[in-house]
Structure 1
């Protein structure tokens, strides 16, 4: 009987550990069940190097969404970024999307700067004003090899 009690508590401990790992995996992956609380927007960039799917999106320093997909438009050779934004955030149609770096050598994210237009972006709309990521390698080579 004593052995059964020890095995029972070890089993409970293993189940709790497995549940905690599953929760952390879902949380880290950014998977959420609130698809109805978000809407998607599209932005086109000349260069989106360093930006990854799942990167966060900020407005005024507050995280309001994340990058869903990054694809190449084979006709215009632009990077097409699809973002999901919290429904509470209504962005004017003249908003600007910029790719920024978190810290000195940190991850890339998208900063949204709201404009002043009366009309707001609807789900599936495109942000036309964009600022691509800055490549430090290009800047350094420009100044080193500039004559």
Structure 2
């Protein structure tokens, strides 16, 4: 009787530790801390966002300074509206900075890269980045190449 009780307690403890470790790994790999930080939101409009996803990194000079908070479609301008959540310590980003959708590596995921402008005024909560460069869609490039080869 005592032996089975010890086995049951050991099994229960093992299962509990397994569940706790899975929970820990989930919070470490999913970047949940980005939902709990302050910071400010900046908007950028793109003609094509390609495969950009919510929670993709926003970088400047190769350093992650925020995350993509939301992606929506603007039916008036027929553009994609991307909300960027910038971490609170990065408050001196010039307001004439430009945003580009870039790809990390040949088959990597897409992210938003910011290039600083020269303005003395900084982006703030609710600002909009005016200068944007859309994602390069590989299918479009291949199609253009095939059309140019076909014409020759």
Both structures adopt the same fold (TM-score exceeding 0.5):
yes
User: Could you say which residue in structure 2 is the equivalent of 1:40?
Assistant: 41
User: Could you say which residue in structure 2 is the equivalent of 1:101?
Assistant: 103
User: Could you say which residue in structure 2 is the equivalent of 1:75?
Assistant: 76
CA contact (8 A) 2:34 2:67 kept: no
Give yes or no for the alignment of 1:138 onto 2:140. Answer: yes
Report the RMSD for the aligned CA atoms in angstroms: 1.6
User: Could you say which residue in structure 1 is the equivalent of 2:62?
Assistant: 61
User: Could you say which residue in structure 1 is the equivalent of 2:28?
Assistant: 27
**C-alpha distance in structure 2 between counterparts of 1:55 and 1:30, whole Å:** 10
**C-alpha distance in structure 2 between counterparts of 1:113 and 1:33, whole Å:** 22
SS of equivalent to 1:106 = coil
Q: CA deviation at 1:33?
A: 6.9
**C-alpha distance in structure 1 between counterparts of 2:27 and 2:126, whole Å:** 26
CA contact (8 A) 2:103 2:111 kept: yes
SS of equivalent to 2:89 = coil
Q: CA deviation at 1:143?
A: 2.2
**C-alpha distance in structure 1 between counterparts of 2:70 and 2:105, whole Å:** 23
Larger Rg: 2
What's the CA shift string for 1:31-58, capped at 9, x where partnerless?
Answer: 2276343221111001101111111111
CA contact (8 A) 2:98 2:129 kept: yes
**C-alpha distance in structure 1 between counterparts of 2:146 and 2:138, whole Å:** 12
What 5-or-longer segments of structure 1 have no aligned partner? none
Give yes or no for the alignment of 1:111 onto 2:113. Answer: yes
Q: CA deviation at 1:130?
A: 0.7
Moved more, 34-43 or 90-99: 34-43
Q: CA deviation at 1:64?
A: 1.6
Moved more, 98-107 or 23-32: 23-32
What 5-or-longer segments of structure 2 have no aligned partner? none
Moved more, 9-18 or 119-128: 9-18
Q: Which runs of 4+ in 1 moved over 6 A?
A: none
Give the alignment's TM-score, normalised by structure 2: 0.88
